[in-house]
Structure formats: structure tokens, C-alpha cells
Amino acid sequence: MENNDFSIYKKTRGFISKGRRIYSIAFGIFVLIIGVIPIVRNGFSFQNDDSILRVIFILMGLFGIFFGLLGREQYASRYRLKMDSESLRIKLPFERRKLIYLNSITSVKTLPMKLEIFFGDYVKTYDFSWLTLEEFENLRTRIGDYCLTKKKEFI
């Protein structure tokens, strides 16, 4: 039997919108002011717990301003896709892993950057907009080959 393994692993830091950048900068300035004003008025002391808390506010404000000016997400998002001869596994950030057993598929319909998978009594649409066009075409041809060998409908 031929090996039909296919996997994609992506780790990306996306860009943030202009509105979110403005919000991040404004919130960073606000938190920075909350931290700076009491330290300027009362001074800094290691014995005072409030002073250490104010330094944390200052650092949070600086990070907010920095990432707002940078215009990128603070954390990288991980996307995983793995297809073997029995299943298709999809793992997106902050979501549970989706497991699709290929034997239970009756037919597959392709849409732009989406797959509509028909099971016995229901249809499920999976969005693959996080893939590049080339990666999506590779996935589509792999699923098409599987459907051809198992005599399932591929539209």
C-alpha cells in the first residue's frame, strides 16, 4: 500500500489591524501613566509592595506601546494539519483538534480555500484560509487522490 502521509506545520505571528494598534498604544500609555505618577510622587522603595506593583504597570505599558507600534501579534499562532491513509487531523490555535475519519466520508466538494465534506447524514465545511494557495492545492489533490482510490465522489 502506498504511503499517503501529508503534513503541514506553520508558526506565524500575524499583523494586527489599525484599530487594534491604536487601542494597544492608548492602553499602554494609560497603564504607563498609572505606574509612573505614584512613583514620581512617592519615590521608589524595595520595601514598599506598591512600588514593585507600579514597576510592573510601567513594564506592561511599555510592552503595550511597543507591540502597538510594531503592529504584530504578541504570540505566534501554531497551525497543524496531518493527513494519513485513515484520517485528517486539523489543529488550530485555541481550538480543539478536529479529527476526520476518511472512511466515513461519502463525498467532498471544494470551494475557494474551503472543503465541504459530506458524511452519511450531514455536511461539514472546513475553512483552510490559513494555508497558502500552494499548500491548499496539495491538500486538495491528496484528498482527490484518496477519493479516487476509494471510489468516493470528489467535486
Question: Would strands 153-154 and 77-83 be described as parallel, antiparallel, or unpaired?
Answer: unpaired
> Quick one: 54 and 100 in the same domain?
no
What's the confidence (pLDDT) of residue 4? 57
* Cα(12)–Cα(78) distance, integer angstroms: 7
Question: Would strands 153-154 and 107-111 be described as parallel, antiparallel, or unpaired?
Answer: parallel
Q: Show the low-confidence residues of the chain (pLDDT under 50).
A: 1
> What is the torsion angle, in degrees rounded to the nearest 10, for the CA atoms of residue 118, residue 122, residue 128 and residue 129?
120
What's the confidence (pLDDT) of residue 1? 40
What's the confidence (pLDDT) of residue 59? 93
Cell reading at 151: 471510489
* Cα(88)–Cα(106) distance, integer angstroms: 15
Sign of CA dihedral 51, 52, 57, 62: positive
Q: Of the candidates 5, 37, 70, which is a domain's last residue?
A: 70
Three-state secondary structure call for residue 67: helix
What's the confidence (pLDDT) of residue 27? 94
C-alpha neighbours within 13 Å on the C-beta side of residue 16: 20
Q: What pTM value is reported for the model?
A: 0.66
> Quick one: 98 and 150 in the same domain?
yes
Q: Of the candidates 9, 38, 70, which is a domain's last residue?
A: 70
